[in-house]
């Protein structure tokens, strides 16, 4: 009998939606989506669709906010995640975080540092109001995305882990008066920048 794991248990929770779309060899991931790290799945899936990229996500319902550490999000616990990892060559993983004095800082970790710099260049153009931090020593250690079992590092050419503060996800008090239509301007600009980064990456 297979022993339960936190990730397998999460996938079995009623209302948790595991999503997989296979397209091109570059992929987007957001496995802390839904009510946990809000808007990360929306951002990743939207960028993937527009860029012709593959997508894997786990979306938690409002009744569930379980945080599974990335190194426990294991392909052996999910056939869908294993299929995604086998299909893509490189990945952009979208996370959400919050730290005092870092409300306008995006952290670009992960083991593929060339991709991190490439994505950061496009996001700096798209979001001039924000800082794109690619220097690993300047990031909180737990947000660097370097663990060898982190899914961002499992594809053949690994990937970049992007940590987004609430403001750029439209989840900040500064947007309290936003009535639309659509996403807040910073979120729209973020997705536009991610699409440009994904469609111009050819390594």
Fold for the domain defined by 6-199: Aminopeptidase (3.40.630)
Q: How confident is the model at residue 4 (pLDDT cuts 50, 70, 90)?
A: low
Q: Which helix (H) or strand (E) holds 184?
A: none
Summarize pLDDT for 183-195 with one digit per residue, the tens. Answer: 999 999 999 999 9
Q: How confident is the model at residue 1 (pLDDT cuts 50, 70, 90)?
A: very low
Summarize pLDDT for 126-145 with one digit per residue, the tens. Answer: 999 999 999 999 999 999 99
What is the percentage of the chain residues whose pLDDT exceeds 70?
98
CA distances from 158 to 57, 124, 148, 153, 189 (A): 17, 22, 10, 4, 25
Taking the alpha carbons at both ends of the chain, their separation in whole angstroms is 43
Average pLDDT over residues 140-169: 98
Provide the pLDDT for residue 5.
81
Average pLDDT over residues 166-187: 95
Average pLDDT over residues 101-125: 98
Cβ proximity of 75 and 82 under 8 Å = yes
CA distance 175 to 184: 7
CA distance 187 to 142: 24
Residue-range domain boundaries for the chain? 6-199
DSSP 37: S
Give the CA radius of gyration of the chain.
16
Summarize pLDDT for 47-66 with one digit per residue, the tens. Answer: 999 999 999 999 999 999 99
Which residues have a Cβ under 8 Å from the Cβ of 3 and sit 6 or more positions away?
A: none
């Amino acid at each position: 009998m297979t022993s339960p794991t936190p990730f397998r248990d999460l996938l079995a929770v009623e209302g948790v939606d595991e999503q997989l779309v296979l397209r091109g060899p570059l992929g987007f991931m957001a496995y802390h989506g839904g009510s946990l790290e809000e808007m990360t799945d929306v951002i990743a899936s939207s960028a993937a669709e527009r860029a012709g990229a593959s997508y894997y996500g786990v979306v938690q319902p409002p009744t569930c906010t379980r945080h599974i550490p990335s190194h426990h999000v294991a392909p052996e616990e999910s056939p869908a995640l294993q299929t995604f990892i086998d299909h893509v060559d490189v990945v952009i993983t979208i996370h959400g975080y919050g730290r005092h004095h870092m409300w306008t800082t995006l952290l670009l970790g992960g083991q593929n540092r060339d991709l991190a710099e490439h994505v950061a260049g496009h996001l700096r153009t798209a979001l001039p109001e924000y800082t794109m931090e690619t220097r690993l020593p300047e990031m909180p250690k737990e947000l660097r995305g370097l663990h060898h079992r982190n899914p961002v590092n499992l594809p053949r050419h690994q990937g970049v882990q992007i940590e987004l503060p609430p403001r750029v996800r439209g989840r900040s008090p500064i947007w309290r008066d936003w009535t639309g239509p659509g996403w807040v301007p910073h979120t729209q600009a973020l997705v536009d920048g991610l699409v440009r980064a994904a469609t111009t990456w050819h390594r």
